[in-house]
Structure 1
Amino acid sequence: MNKLGTIVLVALFGLCVLSPPASAGGALTSSSPSAGARVSRAPEAVKLTFDRPVRDGGANVVNVTGPDGTPWSSGVLGVDGNVVTAVLSPLGPEGEYVVDYAVRLGDPAPLTGQLRFTLTKPGPAAQKQAAPKTTSPQTWAWLGGILAVVVTLAVGAGVLQARRGRR
């Protein structure tokens, strides 16, 4: 190998060894509710704050899943600088909620992550589900009417069958 080839190889090797590692692509710096938080009042939104501005344009995703596996994200997502806000549907049962996110910062690949918070009291949706279902008087009237028609038809069919049997 000639002297020039050796110098080029040594220079390339030096660049590879001495060059700093690539940037990790940003990081989540805070959230509301915060990771691991125990909240008694159901939040209306989840806010994620990053160390760099977030690209707006529909490539960002934030999903919130409840303790029973029900999704609680409304699909409405806002970006303001380095803050992403995900509007939630009214939360349901108490328990652990999981926030999964994939956001585009400056890099082509999205920054992904997960955090959890615990709702210590049932949210508005759980309270609506827990309300007892009542049957209106009109429903009972309809059911009673249908039952009366069925009984009348059955009795009529029995009488008709008895008359035919006597002949």
Structure 2
Amino acid sequence: MSTVHPPAPPGLDTGPLPARGVIGLQLQFCLQWIWLPFRVALHLLNNMPSGDCAADGHGVGKFVLTPSRYRLERSGTREEWEAWAERALDQGLTSAMAGVVGYVSHNNSTRGKWKYKGDMLVPETTIRRRYYRGIGPGGLAVLAARRGWQVDWRYVGQKELRLFLPPREGSA
């Protein structure tokens, strides 16, 4: 795939996001062990879709600031952030494509025809800031373009970035 992607709108900062504060990271890392059992219990009691981004996964690990992520947040290099973002991106894109395949399979088996959003079926996913903080939205756009996906620039500056798989030329 190519690394060509639609450019960000003029005036939009696509560089790395500001690093998290040392004190906040230390507090989160130390205090998470106190509130973690309550958060896990609440998650298990609710057992409802939480609207989390696809890259977060569904296990308890999404609640924990692991030692490796703590080191990444404190002193991660651009290459380490790219590797971290690539893992999250691959997980999110796989989940998005599985959702589309499931959606199409369900509609084909129950109704005998394809269903579309608008006039086309467009898979999309979201990636939270914690996965691309060190490379910024521009870096995530490059990683996504290598896989054929694009960033929806309207959502830059929010808690998560939306990515979508653009329709192929001549498929409309």
TM-score norm. by structure 1 comes to: 0.26
Structure possessing the higher radius of gyration over alpha carbons: 1
Q: Whose strand proportion is higher, 1 or 2?
A: 1
Of structures 1 and 2, the one with the larger relative CO (CA 8 A, separation 6+) is 2
Q: Whose helix proportion is higher, 1 or 2?
A: 2
TM-score norm. by structure 2 comes to: 0.25
